[in-house]
Structure 1
Amino acid sequence: MSASKTVHAALPIAHPAGQLPRDLEIRWNARLLTTAGLTHYKREIPDDPYAPPIYTARVELSSKVLDCFSKLERTLCHELCHVAAWLVNQTAKPPHGPVFRAWAGKAMALYSHLDITTCHAYEIFYPFRWQCSNGTCLQEYGRHSNSIDVKKKVCGACRSPLVFLGKFKPDGTPAKQRRPSRFAEFVKENAAAIKAQLPAGTPHKEVMQRVATMYSAAKQRQQQALAGSGSQATAATTISLLND
């Protein structure tokens, strides 16, 4: 969050008190997959009937979409214009109407390198990619995780099977795939069989606990076998030396 706080401190958009509140909540949200940022508005009515309503706001930024500082700077400034429109003018609708555009104009006058538009038109980088197997379609699909099961999903355009292309770096080159851990391989090979041995409806947590227990036992047996073979080899070497 240090980067967003840095930009926030560098954006003294006009406010009755001098600038936006220093305690404005700005947080990352990993669940924002298709939008760069959101501003949430809140209006509270005090218990005192003569007290004015209390207007507050908070900003959420996508940790998936905002993968460089320039996107972060532009998006945060965009969202702070929404915040200013709400806190100063008590206006949220239309979201990109005259009030928003007025604040955007003030911000761009201060920061000429920023172009604050009414939407976040960024090309989103997806490290995991799939492609339609139909040579006349070749539609590509991207995700932030390896979440498309090609056995269950097909191309949305032509209904043909999908092919997993792999994981890629931001520069487009294939990412080096790490070998799964021994435990991950053990889970893949044995989890289904272990689950079948347990009563129907056994919670996943208990299944994984049983898998972990069996993995530890198998690992211990393997270590004992290796230790035993090492002892036998040492004994054989000793006998050979005595015979010499």
Structure 2
Amino acid sequence: PSKKKPKTVKFEKSKPDLLLGTCVLGRSQVALLQNVTNEGRSYSFVSLSFASSKEGWPLEGRETSESSKSLLTNSQCKIPGCFFHGLENLKQYSGKNYKQNKDELIQKIYSLLNSSVFDQKMPEKIEIGWSKKMVRSAGLCTTGKLRYPKRQRYAKIRISLKVCDSADRLRDTLIHEVCHAASWLLDGVRDSHGDMWRYYARKSNMVHPELPKVTRCHNYKINYKIYYECTQCKSRVGRYSRSLDTTRFICAKCKGSLVLLPLTRKDGTPIQPHVRPFAKYVQENYRKVKRETEGISHGDVMRKLSKDFIAKKQSQGL
């Protein structure tokens, strides 16, 4: 019988830069534009005008260079109590503290957005949760109507636990998803990234000019725990666990073999493997105890190893 060919692993294609803005060609006709380079200067259309406008906000389209855009994002916010600028540098929301305080941070961000951008018209609390299954999408907003009472509209937001691993990513993703929720709860419109969502996204940037531009999709570099590298073309593929069998899968680009790379931190520094003393003791003595006590279960073997390990530590005075 013929041997089965090894399967190939598809590498993620590098995504193009995010869509930066839209430019209105007519009252109801909107054209999507990317960066335009002219005589060495990069431009993007950042002010929008929509067929369905809202009173109190200017709707003229204008063109802004990269230099003026950076001045816009670096200007200080005039909202009292705003903490968005430099959020990822705050001690309570950086490093290990972020994991402990991320639920509290969600409520603080939502409360500030509700008061500054949405004029307290959004519900005081909205269902916002974390998702372990979202490995590439940063967030998701689910909308609908309750059967009782009186067909009320609702919105649920899910944030990716693996993609939004820092305070600034959580802030930007939550703003994006709350704009989806507002377009449905306040206006009854579900048009994905249509006019109503763009209106609230633009309003968020005007109220909080220190924030990055609210865009349709993210360009975050996902921090995988495990990386495999092709031995020939040196391409890499990321995983969250050691789920890739290198004996069955090969590189999709050059058909080369894959190898597991050593574990590294986010900054690229290697992680030294740490084996706990009891785990090392089990590795060294499990087979020996299993042979001496034939017929007993795995749980009984582990209990005996635990007692022996404790007795050994006490005899050594540890």
TM-score (norm 1): 0.72
Aligned residue for 1:69?
167
Q: How far is the alpha carbon of 1:216 from its aligned partner? A: 2.2
- In structure 2, what is the Cα distance between the partners aligned to 1:167 and 1:186? 24
Report % sequence identity.
25
2:95 is equivalent to residue 14 of structure 1: no
2:114 is equivalent to residue 27 of structure 1: no
- In structure 1, what is the Cα distance between the partners aligned to 2:200 and 2:218? 17
Whether the 8 Å contact between 2:189 and 2:196 is mirrored in structure 1 is: yes
Q: 1:101 aligns with which of 186, 198, 213?
A: 198
Correspondences of 1:68-87 after superposition (within 5 Å): 68-87=166-185
- In structure 2, what is the Cα distance between the partners aligned to 1:181 and 1:152? 34
Aligned residue for 1:111?
208
Over aligned residues, Cα RMSD in angstroms?
A: 3.0
The amino acid that maps onto 2:299 is A
Q: How far is the alpha carbon of 1:146 from its aligned partner? A: 2.8
Q: How far is the alpha carbon of 1:66 from its aligned partner? A: 1.1
1:167-189 CA-to-partner distances (Å, cap 9, x unmatched) read: 11110111121115644884797
Q: How far is the alpha carbon of 1:121 from its aligned partner? A: 1.9
Whether the 8 Å contact between 1:130 and 1:166 is mirrored in structure 2 is: no
2:242 is equivalent to residue 146 of structure 1: yes
The structure having more radius of gyration, on CA atoms, is 1
- In structure 2, what is the Cα distance between the partners aligned to 1:83 and 1:147? 36
Aligned residue for 1:217?
304
The amino acid that maps onto 1:19 is K
- In structure 2, what is the Cα distance between the partners aligned to 1:181 and 1:54? 57
- Give the number of equivalent residue pairs: 204
- In structure 2, what is the Cα distance between the partners aligned to 1:157 and 1:168? 25
- In structure 2, what is the Cα distance between the partners aligned to 1:36 and 1:23? 21
Whether the 8 Å contact between 1:78 and 1:116 is mirrored in structure 2 is: yes
Q: In 2 relative to 1, CA 85–166 (structure 1 residues): closer, same or farther, beyond 3 Å?
A: same
- In structure 2, what is the Cα distance between the partners aligned to 1:223 and 1:107? 59
- In structure 1, what is the Cα distance between the partners aligned to 2:138 and 2:169? 8
Q: How far is the alpha carbon of 1:32 from its aligned partner? A: 1.4
The amino acid that maps onto 2:217 is C
Q: 2:268 aligns with which of 161, 169, 172?
A: 172
- In structure 2, what is the Cα distance between the partners aligned to 1:180 and 1:152? 31
2:252 is equivalent to residue 156 of structure 1: yes
What runs of 5+ residues in structure 2 fail to find an aligned partner?
1-102
Whether the 8 Å contact between 1:187 and 1:211 is mirrored in structure 2 is: no
Whether the 8 Å contact between 1:183 and 1:215 is mirrored in structure 2 is: no
Q: How far is the alpha carbon of 1:99 from its aligned partner? A: 1.1
SS of structure 2 residue aligned to 1:65: coil
Higher relative contact order (CA 8 A, sep 6+): 2
Q: How far is the alpha carbon of 1:46 from its aligned partner? A: 3.7
